[in-house]
Amino acid sequence: MKKELEYSYPEKEGVDSRLIMNFLNEAEKTGSEIHGIIIIRHNKVIFEAYNEPYRAEIPHIMHSFTKCLTNTAVGLAFTQGLLDLDDPILKFLPEYEKDASEYLKRATIRNLITMRSGQSRGIGGNEWRPLKTSWLDAYFKVPFVKEPGSEFIYSSGNSYILSAIVQRLTGRTCREYLRENITEKIGTNDFDWMVSPEGICSGGNGVSLTVEDMARIGLLYLNKGEWEGEQLLSREWVDYAMGRRDLIPAPEGRKEYNFHWEHEGDLWEAKGMFGQTCALIPELDMVVAYTAADDRYVFSGILQRELADQVKKGGALEEKNGQILKDKGLRMTLENKNRSAEGHYVPAKPEYRFILDGRTDQITEISLILGEKEIIYGIRDHRGFHKVTAGKDCWLHGVTTMTGGYLHHQYEVEKARVSACAYWSDRNTLMMEWRYPEMAFFDHVSLTWEDGRVRIKRWVNMNSEALERPEITVEAV
């Protein structure tokens, strides 16, 4: 049976609630978003909150925080004596030895886990997610041109190779291996992990977790691999992972990078793209885990300045501030109170169906139903028919199959939760906001009636590729 985390309140654990409020307020000012957050001190949760429509029970795509899990699986194999950090990777993948360069032959597990493989370039998850052929073959097609260990080049491809090695050693995917030996014991939920066409966990990305799941993983590392008296990961491994043992100097222009735990100041952080973060503050016996939409990665500095630095200073603790913080947490929302402009255009028909030639995003049809209380927007493309139902001047929650990989870092999910609102932002423009509680992304779609035509735009808050799709113009007949 899953053991629940113990809860306390900030002042009881030596933290002034105002410091947490200051962190949240400063974070809000940046324009980036925190979707969910848990703060733990002395192994007790002292604050937890979620910005609607993001919720405690909804897993969030972790992006590169997944590497922390892959590395933990490697650490488990290390703990069980199945591998050594200085083992050559070709020891486990001998089929690639025949054509290997001398650099590749010398590449080790340590080189890959510290992002110093010797390859000519890095490999991103968005490059491989659409790939239907062997990811192992794709990795080894990238030349090894430098001495392994000599230069930092961040690559999700390295993590995929580590995932493949764990699977060959154990006969289980990283997800299965961790579930049997670690994650069930520390109480995480069962979690999804994308697999490659070869049936191997994607390694560098592809896991979805709740904020609490992240926090539990952070606690395992904060407590040096021990959970309720059982040493799940060896202390030696945790010391390697955190850079306390055999520290490699920080790459130029970057924080110190260990086994996907970046270190600067008081923070050790395992991060995923767009701000998914588990931060350890060992000096304060603290874990801060949050999901986010933060493509500028501004929250780390605010966490150091507004929380870590201030808690270290100490000071008076007033319990009355705890209720103010609690009230703030209960009111957090990103569902903007948008209302339609007065005197806006009223379309001539309640329903529209536009036939297209498929040249834009392979869309062959766009449909629109304008109800009194809801707006239904649909498209037909190469994946089928998809729709989003948005509340008119309010939010509706549902699911959608809407195509979005081209705006969402090439994550194309078969079905996604969506929270959607529609309103007339000006006299002629119907605006929709689509939020996906399982992702960092949210889309806007605008339809502007003008001179007998409708101009349709779609764009996203952040992406590794294009931020908007080509505009579509149709006749409003």
Q: Locate 266 and state its tokens.
A: 């008081």
Neighbour tally for 169: CB within 10 Å: 16
* Rounded Cα–Cα distance for residues 64 and 124 (Å): 10
Q: Write out pLDDT tens, residues 250-309.
A: 888 889 999 999 999 999 999 999 999 999 999 999 999 999 999 999 999 999 999 999
d(CA 403, CA 416): 10
DSSP characters for 198-229?
TS-B-SSS-BEE-HHHHHHHHHHHHTTTEETT
pLDDT of residue 207: 98
The one-character DSSP state at 85 is T
Q: Smallest Cα–Cα separation from 331: which of 69, 99, 46, 28? A: 28
In whole angstroms, what is the distance from residue 429 CA to residue 431 CA? 6
- For β-strands 286-293 and 267-272, DSSP reports them as unpaired
The residues near 107 (Cβ < 8 Å, ≥ 6 apart) are 88, 89, 90, 117, 118, 144, 148
**What is the distance between the alpha carbons of residues 81 and 104, in angstroms, rounded to a whole number?**
24
Rounded to whole angstroms, what are the CA distances from 142 to 44, 101, 277, 341?
A: 46, 11, 29, 54
Q: How far apart are CA 369 and CA 341, in angstroms?
A: 19
Cα-Cα end-to-end distance for the chain:
60
Instruction: Give helix 320-331 / helix 17-29 axis angle, nearest 10°.
Output: 30
CB atoms closer than 10 angstroms to residue 277: 27
> Which stretches of the chain drop beneath a pLDDT of 70?
1
Q: Quick one: pLDDT at residue 326?
A: 87
Phi-psi region of 415 (alpha: psi -120 to 50; beta: other; left: phi over 0): beta
Distance CA 92, CA 223 (A): 31
Q: Does the global pTM surpass 0.85?
A: yes
Long-range contacts of 381-387 (CB under 8 A, 24+ apart): none
pLDDT for the residue 477: 73
CA–CA dist 309, 173 (Å, integer):
41
Neighbours of 416 (CB within 10 A): 21
User: Which positions ≥6 away from 219 have C-beta within 8 Å?
Assistant: 40, 43, 186, 227, 287
Distance CA(181)–CA(186), nearest Å, equals: 9
